Structure 1
């Protein structure tokens, strides 16, 4: 009997120690694809930077992913919203992010990480790309790779953001963006156990947008293995403004025509115009972005999670760390709940097999720099790439022990959301919209988390199947 009870205890200990993880994703032509299910991942995302740029505080070892309790709170609300991806702009590669990364992983949310920061020396300076491209800078961005390469929910890295943003920046900067992409991809190939995609986030400046994409997408000398080529292309687009905007007036038809034959995934790395001012965003564009007319794109990330000075927040973070949902959150959740999830997972087979164009002057307009000679790595970079950086902080998944959110959260009506908690997923997919409303109405208590998280029944089913297996093993022992 003692040995039987001990065996049962060991089985349950094994069960409780399991970390339920999302599947790593890879780029296949125009799509992001789940490496296990082979289904397409359409990004249903939100840009995540609580505190804005000021939330990045390396002197006090703080960034958006450094506090597990805060991440628990936000992961619960993002999971209810239906999000499957966040973009995190500013991270400190010298601190540990295991708790936050594991929480987002546990709720089925991927992370796209920017390797740069707004501090001097931690990004390519568009006014002086050559002077800002040095071994110290590379050591910093390689540190970000080391920090996040071990998390299966690291979807990719942004090598740069809006470095090209007007006609004055189309000379020299494109070559340095490709140089940084090359160096990051070579470092990943040497030091990561999987191929994590690297790409660029572009400003929606129509004078330079198509050229920027064409320049970064093409293969130099027709080499499909050209490491300087972008793996994906993000677009910060705010052209759909107000309830009266349409697919045509917002220029989405032009974007589809531009990117329909792309050989890499293209998605909105920021979207969600907040004009007219003071009016909650209806997010009508979501139905177009995730509809049949725009399946050539891979979804998008709404700007942004928390209310900052620029007035784009879905939630308001109060001084005591409680959170109040804004009407924007409700509206976005309502639009997400209308999405056809089966349509989003389907991939056009031809979109995964297209070969990139060979880089040539013919791809670009006369206004864009047509120099495809990519700068060589700076002195010392080869040693870093081959041997790794000194004393890297390498992240890994840890067990998520706490699921209940300790601080209060309130709906847009001011009524407290009851029993706010994360719902840990089994290893069977990513988070999806759940079809319910998070903000309580009137004075009615909010629904329990188990009934508001997208896909909860199937996730619970996955966990129950493991429990059934455990009990079956117990019966065999008996």
Structure 2
């Protein structure tokens, strides 16, 4: 009775712009309309991994004024999903989550961070898989479980990125997925999907997908099987790239048989260095060629950092739109979103392949599904719930006007910016909110310093290399030496 009363009170005071989505087969879908949901997303990590400062009680979702500014600019782009890489589960995210919710945007939350003890490592995963690590990841899920716009959790990001990591890491990815899903089932009110975000190292792309989506004989409820599969792909590079030359046709052909939703968890190659991004890959992604296999994607990335992937440059003087912003905005608004959003999801289960060594095509990839047992105190945490924890909730936002300065690419201040709130559980899409953001140019983001005042070399793995890339998302893995030094203390805390 108390819980029901609290939910009624919450509904009366907080804007509810989006409804929880569900997964069936290889689609995200709206359970009320039956329509398929296409992710139109962006990676959000102002300051890069250095922007995650738990000692200072700061992460990307703690500054409500910044969230209001960024949500307004994302809304104009047509963004409906925001991926956040590094979260402190013990901080207050209610205002930012409520702002993005009101703006019609879902959240994808990575449960790991760049700090020692807060991520599974690529080369010695057994050293990083311990009770304290799981306690924190469970707390991340607790912190975001009550927000209706939490779309899914990522159990890992680019942990497999070369042959040495492919030989040892796969069972740990499935083990963490198992532990997270067991925690969701036992402790959260809503069954939020859990998946993995993979580097598009083409030698291992399909092996990783099959390893994560297959069913292990005898495993109860397939709890280690990923619910979704994200791919960080950067193979469409330059103005002359095509659906075929980028190998998007190969990806589409392969993933059309997926038993789980597949989407680009990052995309947006910035090569050749010094040339603008024209976003023809976005047009292809939301065309009839790809929507049968892919559920959209997330552009990398919102803020300009050292490696020049940004749409917006954030400085102490304000936010300034970069050339990529208007080029992306204009490409996305040319797509027929009313027709695309009206597509019906199949809403039927697709039989997953059985886990078998025949699924693995590369001799450098581990073809073994014997998973590590959970750390000693894991079952107790799952049964009783973790402590400490903070349970987030939507809150009322009284003013949706942007208070921080924003400038277009030409340096003109954008006045009267605000987040437009939607009724009737609507999510955002390109063209839904129209605001003049200046002229489209062919300038590149690399001509400007990042939010950390530096310039990068702009190099980026294109999906056919070793997968190491140089993105500063901080979620791939913690430095083994730092982790080794931190583990004894962490183990004592959570023993």
The DSSP-based 3-state class of the residue aligned with 1:323 is strand
The structure with more radius of gyration: 1
Partner of 1:472: none
Shift of 1:270: 0.6
Q: Is the contact between residue 82 and residue 107 of structure 2 (CA under 8 Å) also seen in structure 1? A: yes
Partner of 1:376: 373
1:244 to 2:244 alignment? no
1:28 to 2:28 alignment? no
The DSSP-based 3-state class of the residue aligned with 1:294 is coil
| Greater CA drift, 168-177 or 361-370 | 361-370
Gapped regions of structure 1 (runs ≥ 5): 1-12, 443-478
- 1:89–1:370 distance in 2 versus 1, CA, 3 Å: same
The DSSP-based 3-state class of the residue aligned with 1:171 is helix
Shift of 1:290: 0.5
Partner of 1:409: 406
Matches within 5 A, 1:71-470: 71-221=67-217, 225-295=221-291, 296-320=293-317, 322-347=318-343, 350=346, 352-367=348-363, 368-434=365-431, 436=434, 438-441=436-439
1:310-362 per-position Cα deviation (integer Å, ceiling 9, x unaligned) = 10000011213x11101100000011101222443355655733111111111
**Counterpart-to-counterpart distance in 2, 1:434 and 1:317:** 24
- 1:222–1:239 distance in 2 versus 1, CA, 3 Å: farther
Gapped regions of structure 2 (runs ≥ 5): 1-8, 441-495
- Give the TM-score of the pair, scaled to structure 1: 0.87
1:6-34 per-position Cα deviation (integer Å, ceiling 9, x unaligned) = xxxxxxx9998342231001111100112
1:409-450 per-position Cα deviation (integer Å, ceiling 9, x unaligned) = 1111221112100111113320011174641359xxxxxxxx
1:41 to 2:37 alignment? yes
The DSSP-based 3-state class of the residue aligned with 2:132 is helix
**Counterpart-to-counterpart distance in 2, 1:384 and 1:222:** 24
Q: Aligned pair count?
A: 429
Structure with greater contact order relative to length (CA < 8 Å, sep ≥ 6): 2
The DSSP-based 3-state class of the residue aligned with 1:362 is helix
Q: Is the contact between residue 282 and residue 331 of structure 1 (CA under 8 Å) also seen in structure 2? A: yes
Q: Is the contact between residue 413 and residue 439 of structure 1 (CA under 8 Å) also seen in structure 2? A: no
- The 4+ residue runs of structure 1 with deviation greater than 3 A are 13-16, 346-352, 435-438
RMSD between superposed Cα atoms in Å? 1.8
**Counterpart-to-counterpart distance in 2, 1:362 and 1:237:** 25
